[in-house]
Copies of this chain bind each other. A is one copy, B any other.
Amino acid sequence: MPMRIESIDFFYVSMPQIEDIADGSQDALLVRVRADGLTGWGECEASPLVCIANWVCPMSHEICKPLNQAVANQVVDGPEDIARIARRVARDGLDIAQTDHTFSGVEIALWDLLGNKHGKPVYELLGYDRVYPKTPYASQLFGDTPDQTRQKARASVRQGFKAVKFGWGPYGLGDVEADRLQVEAAREGLGPEGILLVDAGTAWGDDPRKALPRLEALEEHRATWLEEPFVGEALEAHAELAAHCRKVRLAGGEGARNIHMARHLIDYGKVGFIQIDTGRIGGIGPSKKVCDHARAHGVTYVNHTFTTHLALSASLQPFSGVEDSWLCEYPVEPKALAVELNHDELALNDAGQIQVPARPGLGVEVNLGAIEKYLVETQIKIGDRVLYRSPDPNS
């Protein structure tokens, strides 16, 4: 008997207070898919309310439809079924820009479900025979001052991290000298051996002239990469800056909403590292395709993850079997909800590395009590018809 999807639930959870900082772990949109007594979980790295609206919105026309129509009651027996559903979603949602963000959590949950059905980790379903440990980099915000940044770098080293990424905060928004002092402080705190990664958080829009004066300090303090100097679509700006780099390489791709955008950054933007968030690009399937394309072009694939360990496991699967892709992003300052949502931690081992779970599906349990605790009661109505109401996680 083919396995047919029986239910798909969206859970919007949030910290009671959201701070106005670049910390994506303050809320989450979890997706639960059930079939044949099995459960799969996924997570969208996107605005929960906008995705929920995308899931249930009334049809506007042939290629502007609610995504739930394309997924409900579908058969899922193998990876090809997930790809088939994804193609229908892409067509139905062509005129809704949010579509790939919304589908990401569903697609990830389908892989988890499929892994649970076949008793295999997702990476095996993706065709990997074995997996390699990754060196996690501690992903955190720059301190408000260079001294704070220095202290944060030292703390990360004490926690066992060999690589640290600093981003956002004041970096890129002030003058060149202020940025230089921040990078210098990060290198000092990290020590000469540490791997230093810098994230400009699209601070310079699409203007290479603003980015070029920052390269010198990054080269001097041996940053491995400069991430997101520009918005992801500014391909010419990326290519121009890349041509001026000596040892530093550009990194980007977290904003990629489909395979094409990620490929463009590689093919036209000349990045050296492509960073993919499975919770945005449409899930694990598209991420694996980007990974294959990156390998064929000498570009290193890295995950982008800033929330839960459910999202972390999903983000590791696509490149878990690639030995050359040895770095991985690892959120070190997640908010309580992100910590409490998963029972199982992908913790650092004694060598300071992490490994994707060798358990069926994504190998991460979801704590229903945490969903209940942080659930945002949401309701969308059209006339008297309730299109969406937050489901009960325990039912």
Q: Is A261 an interface residue when CB atoms closer than 8 A count as contact?
A: yes
* Bound CA span A223–B54, Å: 37
Are B377 and A264 touching (Cβ within 8 A)?
no
Q: Is A63 an interface residue when CB atoms closer than 8 A count as contact?
A: yes
**Chain A residues with a Cβ under 8 A of chain B:** 14, 18-24, 26-27, 45-50, 52-54, 56-64, 94-101, 168, 202, 206, 231, 233-236, 255, 257-258, 260-261, 264, 267-268, 376-383, 387
* A48 / chain B contacts, CB cutoff of 8 Å: 57, 60
Distance in Å: Cβ of A199 to nearest Cβ of chain B? 13
* Bound CA span A25–B94, Å: 16
If A53-B52, A61-B21 touch, whether A231 touches B260 (CB-CB below 8 Å) is yes
If A235-B264, A382-B377 touch, whether A97 touches B94 (CB-CB below 8 Å) is no
A206 interface neighbour in B260, B267, B378, B387, Cβ under 8 Å: B260
* A57 / chain B contacts, CB cutoff of 8 Å: 47-50
* A64 / chain B contacts, CB cutoff of 8 Å: 24, 46-47
Are A378 and B381 touching (Cβ within 8 A)?
yes
Are B59 and A94 touching (Cβ within 8 A)?
no
* A23 / chain B contacts, CB cutoff of 8 Å: 61-62
Nearest CB to that of A57 among chain B residues? B49
Distance in Å: Cβ of A387 to nearest Cβ of chain B? 8
* A233 / chain B contacts, CB cutoff of 8 Å: 258, 260-261, 264
Are A24 and B260 touching (Cβ within 8 A)?
no
Distance in Å: Cβ of A45 to nearest Cβ of chain B? 8
Are B94 and A60 touching (Cβ within 8 A)?
no
Distance in Å: Cβ of A50 to nearest Cβ of chain B? 5
Are A24 and B61 touching (Cβ within 8 A)?
yes
If A97-B98, A380-B379 touch, whether A49 touches B59 (CB-CB below 8 Å) is no
Distance in Å: Cβ of A322 to nearest Cβ of chain B? 24
Are A96 and B47 touching (Cβ within 8 A)?
yes
Are B47 and A95 touching (Cβ within 8 A)?
yes
* A236 / chain B contacts, CB cutoff of 8 Å: 267
Are A376 and B380 touching (Cβ within 8 A)?
no
Distance in Å: Cβ of A395 to nearest Cβ of chain B? 20
29 A-B residue pairs with Cβ-Cβ distance under 8 Å, sorted by A, are: A18-B59, A18-B60, A19-B61, A20-B61, A20-B62, A22-B61, A23-B62, A24-B60, A24-B64, A27-B58, A45-B95, A46-B97, A47-B53, A49-B58, A50-B96, A50-B98, A54-B98, A97-B98, A97-B257, A231-B260, A233-B258, A233-B261, A235-B264, A235-B268, A236-B267, A378-B382, A379-B381, A380-B380, A380-B381
* Bound CA span A276–B226, Å: 33
* A268 / chain B contacts, CB cutoff of 8 Å: 235, 264, 268
Nearest CB to that of A230 among chain B residues? B260
* Bound CA span A380–B168, Å: 32
Are B62 and A54 touching (Cβ within 8 A)?
no
* Bound CA span A60–B17, Å: 10
Are B26 and A60 touching (Cβ within 8 A)?
yes
With most chain B CB atoms within 10 A of its CB, the pick from A63, A97, A379 is A97
A50 interface neighbour in B45, B50, B258, Cβ under 8 Å: B50
* Bound CA span A379–B385, Å: 10
Are A94 and B202 touching (Cβ within 8 A)?
yes
* Bound CA span A14–B58, Å: 10
* Bound CA span A63–B27, Å: 13
Distance in Å: Cβ of A30 to nearest Cβ of chain B? 14
Distance in Å: Cβ of A269 to nearest Cβ of chain B? 11
* Bound CA span A233–B267, Å: 13
* A387 / chain B contacts, CB cutoff of 8 Å: 49
